[in-house]
Amino acid sequence: MSNQNIAFGIDIGGSGIKGALVDLRTGEFASERIRIPTPHPSTPDAVAATCQELIEHFDLPDDMPIGITFPAPVVRDTVLFMANLDPSWTGVNVNQLMWKRLGRKVHATNDADAAGYAEVLYGAAKEVSGTVIVTTLGTGIGSAIIFDGTLLPNTELGHLEIDGKDAESRASAAQRENRGWSFKQWAKRLQRYYSHVEMLFSPDLFVVGGGISKKHQKYLPLLELSTPIVPAKLRNTAGIVGVAALAARHQTGELPN
Ligand code: BGC
Protein backbone atom coordinates (compact mmCIF):
# COMPACT_ATOMS: atom_id res chain seq x y z
CA MET A 1 0.00 0.00 0.00
CA SER A 2 3.06 2.30 0.17
CA ASN A 3 2.19 5.34 -1.91
CA GLN A 4 3.55 8.84 -1.56
CA ASN A 5 0.13 10.36 -2.15
CA ILE A 6 -1.34 8.67 0.89
CA ALA A 7 -0.77 9.48 4.56
CA PHE A 8 -2.50 8.42 7.77
CA GLY A 9 -4.19 10.80 10.18
CA ILE A 10 -5.35 10.23 13.75
CA ASP A 11 -7.55 12.78 15.50
CA ILE A 12 -7.62 12.56 19.30
CA GLY A 13 -10.75 14.05 20.78
CA GLY A 14 -12.45 14.03 24.16
CA SER A 15 -14.97 11.35 23.19
CA GLY A 16 -13.41 9.51 20.24
CA ILE A 17 -10.07 8.72 18.62
CA LYS A 18 -10.49 8.49 14.87
CA GLY A 19 -8.17 7.40 12.11
CA ALA A 20 -8.24 7.18 8.31
CA LEU A 21 -5.99 7.10 5.28
CA VAL A 22 -5.99 10.37 3.37
CA ASP A 23 -5.45 10.97 -0.33
CA LEU A 24 -3.23 14.05 -0.30
CA ARG A 25 -4.07 15.01 -3.88
CA THR A 26 -7.72 15.60 -3.02
CA GLY A 27 -7.90 15.87 0.76
CA GLU A 28 -10.42 13.03 0.80
CA PHE A 29 -10.38 9.86 2.83
CA ALA A 30 -8.77 6.93 1.03
CA SER A 31 -10.25 4.40 3.48
CA GLU A 32 -13.11 4.09 5.91
CA ARG A 33 -12.74 6.12 9.10
CA ILE A 34 -12.39 4.03 12.25
CA ARG A 35 -13.49 5.50 15.57
CA ILE A 36 -12.58 4.09 18.98
CA PRO A 37 -14.00 5.71 22.12
CA THR A 38 -11.40 7.74 24.01
CA PRO A 39 -10.25 5.69 27.04
CA HIS A 40 -11.07 6.95 30.51
CA PRO A 41 -8.92 8.12 32.13
CA SER A 42 -7.37 9.45 28.93
CA THR A 43 -3.78 9.06 30.12
CA PRO A 44 -0.85 9.10 27.67
CA ASP A 45 -0.37 5.30 27.88
CA ALA A 46 -4.06 4.54 27.36
CA VAL A 47 -4.33 6.91 24.39
CA ALA A 48 -1.10 5.58 22.85
CA ALA A 49 -2.54 2.05 23.10
CA THR A 50 -5.64 3.20 21.19
CA CYS A 51 -3.45 4.79 18.49
CA GLN A 52 -1.60 1.50 18.22
CA GLU A 53 -4.89 -0.33 17.76
CA LEU A 54 -5.80 2.01 14.88
CA ILE A 55 -2.43 1.67 13.20
CA GLU A 56 -2.52 -2.13 13.48
CA HIS A 57 -6.04 -2.18 12.06
CA PHE A 58 -4.81 -0.45 8.89
CA ASP A 59 -1.58 -2.47 8.70
CA LEU A 60 0.33 0.63 7.58
CA PRO A 61 3.62 0.32 5.68
CA ASP A 62 6.68 1.38 7.66
CA ASP A 63 7.35 4.48 5.60
CA MET A 64 3.82 5.88 5.62
CA PRO A 65 3.64 9.34 7.25
CA ILE A 66 1.47 9.30 10.38
CA GLY A 67 0.07 12.47 11.88
CA ILE A 68 -1.69 12.72 15.23
CA THR A 69 -3.72 15.69 16.47
CA PHE A 70 -3.95 16.67 20.12
CA PRO A 71 -6.47 18.99 21.73
CA ALA A 72 -3.57 20.93 23.20
CA PRO A 73 -0.65 23.11 22.19
CA VAL A 74 2.22 20.92 20.95
CA VAL A 75 5.61 22.62 20.80
CA ARG A 76 8.65 20.65 19.63
CA ASP A 77 6.61 17.43 20.08
CA THR A 78 5.76 18.26 23.70
CA VAL A 79 2.27 18.89 25.07
CA LEU A 80 2.35 22.19 26.97
CA PHE A 81 -0.94 21.88 28.86
CA MET A 82 -4.11 19.86 28.47
CA ALA A 83 -7.51 21.48 29.01
CA ASN A 84 -9.86 18.68 27.95
CA LEU A 85 -8.03 15.34 28.36
CA ASP A 86 -6.21 13.84 31.34
CA PRO A 87 -3.92 16.51 32.86
CA SER A 88 -1.06 14.00 33.07
CA TRP A 89 -0.39 14.86 29.40
CA THR A 90 1.33 18.08 30.44
CA GLY A 91 5.02 17.92 29.52
CA VAL A 92 4.74 14.61 27.63
CA ASN A 93 6.95 14.29 24.55
CA VAL A 94 4.58 12.69 22.09
CA ASN A 95 7.27 11.43 19.75
CA GLN A 96 9.03 9.57 22.53
CA LEU A 97 5.75 8.15 23.84
CA MET A 98 4.68 6.88 20.42
CA TRP A 99 8.15 5.61 19.56
CA LYS A 100 8.11 3.47 22.72
CA ARG A 101 4.64 2.13 21.98
CA LEU A 102 4.63 1.91 18.16
CA GLY A 103 8.29 1.76 17.24
CA ARG A 104 7.70 4.44 14.61
CA LYS A 105 7.86 8.18 14.23
CA VAL A 106 4.72 10.26 14.20
CA HIS A 107 4.06 13.93 13.60
CA ALA A 108 2.07 15.60 16.39
CA THR A 109 0.04 18.78 15.88
CA ASN A 110 -2.61 20.79 17.68
CA ASP A 111 -6.08 19.69 16.48
CA ALA A 112 -7.28 23.14 15.38
CA ASP A 113 -4.01 23.83 13.57
CA ALA A 114 -4.50 20.59 11.64
CA ALA A 115 -8.11 21.49 10.81
CA GLY A 116 -7.08 25.00 9.76
CA TYR A 117 -4.33 23.67 7.54
CA ALA A 118 -6.80 21.31 5.85
CA GLU A 119 -9.22 24.17 5.19
CA VAL A 120 -6.40 26.14 3.58
CA LEU A 121 -5.23 23.25 1.42
CA TYR A 122 -8.57 21.79 0.41
CA GLY A 123 -11.46 23.70 1.93
CA ALA A 124 -13.09 27.03 2.74
CA ALA A 125 -9.82 28.98 2.96
CA LYS A 126 -8.22 27.61 -0.20
CA GLU A 127 -6.43 30.37 -2.12
CA VAL A 128 -7.59 33.05 0.33
CA SER A 129 -4.82 35.58 0.86
CA GLY A 130 -4.17 37.57 4.01
CA THR A 131 -5.10 36.47 7.52
CA VAL A 132 -7.50 33.56 7.92
CA ILE A 133 -8.65 32.52 11.38
CA VAL A 134 -10.14 29.06 11.64
CA THR A 135 -11.93 28.29 14.89
CA THR A 136 -13.26 24.89 15.90
CA LEU A 137 -16.28 24.89 18.17
CA GLY A 138 -16.51 21.66 20.18
CA THR A 139 -15.64 20.63 23.73
CA GLY A 140 -13.30 23.60 23.70
CA ILE A 141 -12.59 26.34 21.19
CA GLY A 142 -9.59 25.69 18.97
CA SER A 143 -7.93 28.23 16.72
CA ALA A 144 -5.60 28.34 13.75
CA ILE A 145 -4.18 31.51 12.25
CA ILE A 146 -2.94 31.28 8.69
CA PHE A 147 -1.35 34.18 6.82
CA ASP A 148 -0.93 33.80 3.06
CA GLY A 149 -0.98 30.02 3.47
CA THR A 150 1.52 29.88 6.34
CA LEU A 151 0.29 28.56 9.66
CA LEU A 152 1.21 30.32 12.90
CA PRO A 153 0.97 27.31 15.26
CA ASN A 154 -0.44 26.94 18.78
CA THR A 155 -2.43 30.16 18.98
CA GLU A 156 -4.92 29.01 21.69
CA LEU A 157 -7.54 31.72 21.08
CA GLY A 158 -10.09 29.58 22.90
CA HIS A 159 -8.36 30.61 26.10
CA LEU A 160 -8.59 34.35 25.51
CA GLU A 161 -9.89 35.97 28.65
CA ILE A 162 -13.08 37.82 27.83
CA ASP A 163 -15.10 39.63 30.51
CA GLY A 164 -12.89 37.93 33.09
CA LYS A 165 -13.63 34.40 31.85
CA ASP A 166 -11.85 31.83 29.72
CA ALA A 167 -13.57 32.22 26.31
CA GLU A 168 -14.19 28.53 25.72
CA SER A 169 -15.91 28.20 29.09
CA ARG A 170 -18.52 30.69 27.81
CA ALA A 171 -18.86 30.05 24.12
CA SER A 172 -17.89 26.49 23.14
CA ALA A 173 -20.43 24.16 21.53
CA ALA A 174 -20.24 21.93 24.62
CA GLN A 175 -21.28 24.85 26.81
CA ARG A 176 -24.32 25.45 24.62
CA GLU A 177 -25.33 21.84 25.02
CA ASN A 178 -24.58 21.57 28.74
CA ARG A 179 -26.45 24.74 29.56
CA GLY A 180 -29.34 24.11 27.20
CA TRP A 181 -28.94 27.41 25.33
CA SER A 182 -30.88 28.02 22.14
CA PHE A 183 -28.82 28.90 19.07
CA LYS A 184 -29.95 32.50 19.52
CA GLN A 185 -28.66 32.59 23.11
CA TRP A 186 -25.42 30.96 22.06
CA ALA A 187 -25.00 33.41 19.17
CA LYS A 188 -24.80 36.27 21.69
CA ARG A 189 -21.77 34.61 23.27
CA LEU A 190 -20.28 33.92 19.85
CA GLN A 191 -20.84 37.56 18.89
CA ARG A 192 -18.84 38.71 21.91
CA TYR A 193 -16.10 36.21 21.13
CA TYR A 194 -15.71 36.85 17.42
CA SER A 195 -15.95 40.66 17.81
CA HIS A 196 -13.08 40.49 20.26
CA VAL A 197 -10.95 38.27 18.02
CA GLU A 198 -11.80 40.52 15.05
CA MET A 199 -10.66 43.58 16.98
CA LEU A 200 -7.38 41.91 17.93
CA PHE A 201 -6.41 40.46 14.53
CA SER A 202 -8.37 42.22 11.74
CA PRO A 203 -8.63 38.97 9.79
CA ASP A 204 -9.72 38.67 6.15
CA LEU A 205 -11.81 35.57 6.80
CA PHE A 206 -13.19 33.52 9.68
CA VAL A 207 -13.83 29.83 9.07
CA VAL A 208 -15.93 27.99 11.66
CA GLY A 209 -15.32 24.26 12.10
CA GLY A 210 -16.19 21.52 14.57
CA GLY A 211 -19.18 19.18 14.45
CA ILE A 212 -21.62 22.04 15.05
CA SER A 213 -20.56 23.71 11.79
CA LYS A 214 -23.10 21.36 10.15
CA LYS A 215 -25.78 23.57 11.71
CA HIS A 216 -24.12 26.87 10.74
CA GLN A 217 -27.33 28.28 9.31
CA LYS A 218 -28.77 28.41 12.81
CA TYR A 219 -26.15 30.78 14.23
CA LEU A 220 -23.70 32.23 11.71
CA PRO A 221 -26.32 34.50 10.07
CA LEU A 222 -27.04 35.99 13.53
CA LEU A 223 -23.49 37.34 13.88
CA GLU A 224 -22.66 40.93 12.95
CA LEU A 225 -19.03 41.24 12.01
CA SER A 226 -17.04 43.19 9.43
CA THR A 227 -15.13 40.03 8.55
CA PRO A 228 -16.79 37.39 6.36
CA ILE A 229 -17.50 34.26 8.44
CA VAL A 230 -18.11 30.94 6.68
CA PRO A 231 -18.54 27.32 7.74
CA ALA A 232 -15.64 24.90 7.30
CA LYS A 233 -15.88 22.76 4.20
CA LEU A 234 -14.23 19.63 5.55
CA ARG A 235 -16.32 19.53 8.74
CA ASN A 236 -15.28 16.63 10.93
CA THR A 237 -12.70 15.20 8.52
CA ALA A 238 -10.52 18.32 8.74
CA GLY A 239 -8.34 17.24 11.68
CA ILE A 240 -7.43 13.88 10.14
CA VAL A 241 -6.86 15.36 6.68
CA GLY A 242 -4.79 18.28 7.92
CA VAL A 243 -2.57 16.26 10.20
CA ALA A 244 -1.97 13.62 7.51
CA ALA A 245 -0.90 16.41 5.13
CA LEU A 246 1.34 17.99 7.76
CA ALA A 247 2.94 14.61 8.55
CA ALA A 248 3.65 14.03 4.85
CA ARG A 249 5.10 17.51 4.48
CA HIS A 250 7.22 16.98 7.57
CA GLN A 251 8.56 13.66 6.24
CA THR A 252 9.21 14.61 2.64
CA GLY A 253 9.54 18.37 2.86
CA GLU A 254 6.77 18.82 0.29
CA LEU A 255 3.23 17.92 -0.65
CA PRO A 256 2.42 15.76 -3.67
CA ASN A 257 0.51 17.45 -6.52
C1 BGC B 1 -7.16 23.50 23.76
C2 BGC B 1 -6.68 23.73 22.35
C3 BGC B 1 -7.55 22.94 21.39
C4 BGC B 1 -9.01 23.27 21.59
C5 BGC B 1 -9.93 22.42 20.73
C6 BGC B 1 -8.62 23.88 23.84
O7 BGC B 1 -9.07 23.68 25.15
O8 BGC B 1 -6.41 24.25 24.68
O9 BGC B 1 -5.35 23.34 22.21
O10 BGC B 1 -7.17 23.22 20.07
O11 BGC B 1 -9.39 23.09 22.95
O12 BGC B 1 -9.78 21.06 21.01
Tell me the average pLDDT of the chain. 95
Please identify, by atom number, the ligand 1 atom nearest to the C-alpha of residue 73: 9
For the segment 165-184, the average pLDDT, to the nearest whole number, is: 97
- The answer, yes or no, to whether residue 1 has pLDDT greater than 60, is no
Segment 89-135, tens digit of pLDDT: 999 999 999 999 999 999 999 999 999 999 999 999 999 999 999 99
Structure confidence at residue 253 as a pLDDT band (50, 70, 90): confident
For the segment 153-163, the average pLDDT, to the nearest whole number, is: 97
- The answer, yes or no, to whether residue 257 has pLDDT greater than 90, is no
The rounded Å distance from CA 7 to ligand 1 centre is 24
Q: What is the pLDDT of residue 254?
A: 67
Q: What is the pLDDT of residue 252?
A: 80
Segment 217-229, tens digit of pLDDT: 999 999 999 999 9
Q: What is the pLDDT of residue 31?
A: 97
Q: What is the pLDDT of residue 251?
A: 87
Q: What is the pLDDT of residue 216?
A: 97
Please identify, by atom number, the ligand 1 atom nearest to the C-alpha of residue 83: 7
Cβ contacts of 153-160, under 8 Å, gap ≥ 24:
153/75, 153/109, 153/110, 153/113, 154/73, 154/74, 154/75, 154/80, 154/110, 154/113, 155/113, 156/73, 157/133, 157/197, 158/83, 158/112, 159/83, 160/193, 160/196, 160/197, 160/200
Q: Which residues line ligand 1 (CB under 6 A)?
A: 71-73, 83-84, 110-112, 136, 138, 140, 142, 156, 158-159, 168
Q: What is the pLDDT of residue 255?
A: 57
The proportion of the chain whose per-residue pLDDT surpasses 90, expressed as a percent, equals: 92
- The answer, yes or no, to whether residue 39 has pLDDT greater than 90, is yes
The rounded Å distance from CA 2 to ligand 1 centre is 33
The rounded Å distance from CA 61 to ligand 1 centre is 31
More confident residue, 236 or 173: 173
Q: What is the pLDDT of residue 194?
A: 98
Q: Pairing between strand 107-110 and 66-70?
A: parallel
